[in-house]
Amino acid sequence: MKELQKQIGERLRDWRKKELQKDSKTVAAMCNLSAPMYSQIENGERGPSVVTLSDIHTATGINLHWLLTGNNS
């Protein structure tokens, strides 16, 4: 489970930097998350809940299948 948390965090950070080109505080605010909570998710220290994943998707448009699996299809 920890490995999956780490992978989700890495993908989320990559997406934020490459696609959104925003800092983590800005994206956290977009997702209605605290900056520390968002940081913990990106750092793989905390697994996002289903509700949090939905909030991140709604705010950023990130593909949840890719975020969870690393696969685009």
Range 38-67 burial, b when 16+ CB lie within 10 A, else e: bbbbbebebbbeeebbebbeebbebeeeeb
If one counts the domains in the chain, the total is 1
Q: What is the mean pLDDT of residues 52-70?
A: 96
Chain-centroid distance, C-alpha 51 = 12
pTM for this model (two decimals):
0.92
What CATH number does the domain containing 22 carry? 1.10.260.40
Q: What domain range is 30 assigned to?
A: 2-69
Q: What is the pLDDT of residue 72?
A: 85
Q: What is the mean pLDDT of residues 39-60?
A: 96
